[in-house]
Amino acid sequence: MPVESIFHRLEALLPKVQKPIQYVGGELNSTVKDWDSADVRWALMYPDAYEVGLPNQGVAILYEILNELPGTLAERTYAVWPDLEALMRAEGVPQFTVDAHRPVRAFDVLGVSFSTELGYTNMLTALDLAGIPLLAVDRGEDDPIVLAGGHAAFNPEPIADFLDAAVLGDGEQISIAISEVIREWKAEGRPGGRDELLMRLAESGGVYVPKFYDVEYHADGRIKRVAPNRPDVPWRVHKHTVMDLDEWPYPKKPLVPLAETVHERFSVEIFRGCTRGCRFCQAGMITRPVRERSITTIGAMVDNGVKQSGFNEVGLLSLSSADHSEIGDIAKGLADRYEGSNTSLSLPSTRVDAFNIDLANEFSRNGRRSGLTFAPEGGSERMRKVINKMVTEEDLIRTVTTAYSQGWRQVKLYFMCGLPTEQDEDVLGIADLAKKVIKAGREATGSRDIRCTVSIGGFVPKPHTPFQWAAQADHETVDRRLKALREALRSDKNYGRAIGYRYHDGKPSIVEGLLSRGDRRVGAVIRAVWEDGGRFDGWSEHFSYERWMTAAEQVGVDVDWYTTREREENEVLPWDHLDAGLDREWLWQDWQEAVSGAEVEDCRWTPCYDCGVCPTMGTEIQIGPTGRKLLPLTVV
C-alpha cells in the first residue's frame, strides 16, 4: 500500500511559521520514488535545521547511493524549528520527509547522521513527533530501525537507549549491505521479528546494536566491562573504510536548496582522512588512512556538479585540502578551465605550513579576495608542541606577510582555549601573535588597512584521540582566560581596532564534553533536558547551560566526573569496544608524549609510526602523485 503525503495537513501550518520554504521540498535534483516500487525505505535525518543539514555531504551521498539502488528509496528529514513543532503537536501532524512529505514512522530505517553531540535532543524531538517510542526497548514491529552514523556515532553510548543500531566510519558500502539484509529479511516474511533483523545486522560485525551488549560498573562508577549478551555478537565492532574513492564519485547530482543555507556551493571531497597527527582532532584520527581522489576524478566531478547544479562556487573539501599531493595541478587545471566564467574555487581548510601564495592566487583568479583562514590552534610554541600542531611563529608570520603583500587584507586565526597543560600565558600569547601579524602586514604593504580576526573555541577532549584520557578545563577557567585575552587585545590602541575577537564561552563546551565522553547513564540527562524543552543545543540562542546542569542533578549524574576528571591508562572507556582502528597503546603513548611536548611527523611522508589503522583495518595510505593532468573540458 502506498504511503500518502501529509503535505495537505502541513501546508495549512506553514503561513504561521518562520522560513516556511525550508519544509516544502522540491529542490533541483531531489528524488521522489514510487513507494510501492521499493521494498527497502530509508528516511535520512540530519538533526539540525534545514539550512545546516542540506549541505551535509554525508547525508547527500547516502541519499544518492540509496536512490540509485533498485528496490530502495531514500528521503530526507530535518529538525523542525520550535514554532512548527508546537503547531504539529497541536494539529497531530507527524515528523515528515521533505521529498514526498511521507510520515517518518512509515519507513524501514531512520538513519541519523551526527556531526556533533549537540544534535541529540533534536533526534528525540523527531522520534516523538514521528510517533516512534523514544526507547529502543519499547519499539514494535511497525517502528523503523533507528540507526546512527557520523563522527559523533564513534561513541554512541550516551544515546544507546534511544538507538537500535549504529555504524562507524564510511557509509557508502555498509548502507547498501544493510539494505540487502533488510530486503532479505522482509522477503522471508520477517522471521523472528525486529530482534532477528537486529541480530542479522550485528552478526556481521559491521553494525553495532547496543541492546546486545551489557555494561557492568565498579562501585566507584567506572566501567568494569562491556560484554556481548548473545553468543554470535562480536566483542568489538569495527569501522568501515572505503578504499577507492574514485569508485564513489558522489554527489553526482547535488541538491540545490530553495531556502538559504550555510554553504551555497558545490563541494567535492578531494581526499578522506588525515595523518598530520593533531592530538585534539577526532576527525583526523577516526578517518585514517589518507585516501586521495585522483586528479581526473576530481576534475570530472567538478565539471558534472557545476552543470547539474548551477552553483557558481566549488569547494574542494578535506580535513586539510592543501595537503593533496597534486593540489597544485588541481588548482591550476580548474582555474584555467573556469577562468573568465562566473565559477569560483575555494579551499575551505588550509594549514599554515601547507599554504603557498601560488595556490592562493589560483583559487582567487575568478573570485574576489576574501579573507584567508588559518588555524594555529595554540597560542604559544609550547602549546602547539603539546597538541602536535607543528606550526612555528615564524611559519605563521611568513605566511600572512606573503598574503598581505599579495593583496589580501583580512586574515582569520583560529585557536582553542582549555587545552591540556595550558597556562594563562599560553592564551595571552594569542594577543602577542595577533599583534605581530598586524605589524608584519603593515610593514609588508605600507598600509594600515590590515585586519586580523582572532576566533577561539573551547577545547573538548574526544574519544579515539590521545586526549581521550585528559581532564577538561572547567568553564570558569576558560572564561577567565578568554576575558584576560580580550583585555590584552583591546589594551593596545595601536592594534586594538585592527584585531577582531570572536569566542565561545566555556559552558557549551562542558555540555559537549559530557556528551562526547559519556556512557549510557548520560542518556537520562539527555532525556530530562529534552523533556524540559531542550532543542537546538548547538545554537547559542537556544542553548541553556542551567537546563543541562539541573537535569544532571535531577538524575544523579556528576558532570565533573565525566568532564574535568583525568582518566587512568587502564580505565575501561565507554567506547573501548568500538574499534576505530587505532591501537589503544599507541594513543596512550602519544598522550604521554603530548605532556612532554614531543612531536610526531606525518606518516604520509615518513615511516609508519604504528598507530595501528592500516594493519587493523586492512587498509593503506593512498597518495599520488599519479602523473595525470586534469582533463581539458570546454566550458559552455
What pLDDT digit, counting tens, does each position of 125-172 carry? 999 999 999 999 999 999 999 999 999 999 999 999 999 999 999 999
Q: Is the pLDDT at 276 greater than 80, yes or no?
A: yes
Directed axis angle between helix 424-445 and helix 475-491, to 10°? 30
pLDDT digits (tens, 9 = 90+) for 338-388: 988 989 888 876 778 777 778 888 888 776 666 788 899 999 999 999 999
**pLDDT at position 632 over 80:** no
Show the beta-strand stretches assigned E in 338-461.
Answer: 344-346, 372-377, 410-417, 451-458
pTM: 0.96
| Cα–Cα dist 211/214, whole Å | 7
Mean pLDDT on 516-541: 97
Residue 238 DSSP class? E
Q: What is the pLDDT of residue 635?
A: 46
* CA–CA gap between residue 575 and residue 84 (Å, rounded): 36
**pLDDT of res. 349:** 64
Instruction: Please give the share of the chain, as a percent, with pLDDT higher than 90.
Output: 83
pLDDT at 561 over 50: yes
Bridge-partner residues for 372, per DSSP? 411
User: Average model confidence (pLDDT) for the chain?
Assistant: 94
Q: Are 127 and 60 in contact (CB under 8 A)?
A: no
- Cβ atoms of 159 and 231 closer than 8 Å: no
- Indicate the residue type of 315: G
DSSP string, 261-281: -S--SEEEE-EE---S--TT-
Span 60-100, pLDDT tens digits: 999 999 999 999 999 999 999 999 999 999 999 999 999 99
CB 83 within 8 A of CB 28: no
H or E element, residue 302: helix 295-309
- Whether 410 and 370 have beta carbons less than 8 Å apart is answered as yes
Query: Per-residue confidence at 408, pLDDT binned at 50, 70, 90?
Result: confident
What is the pLDDT at residue 172?
97
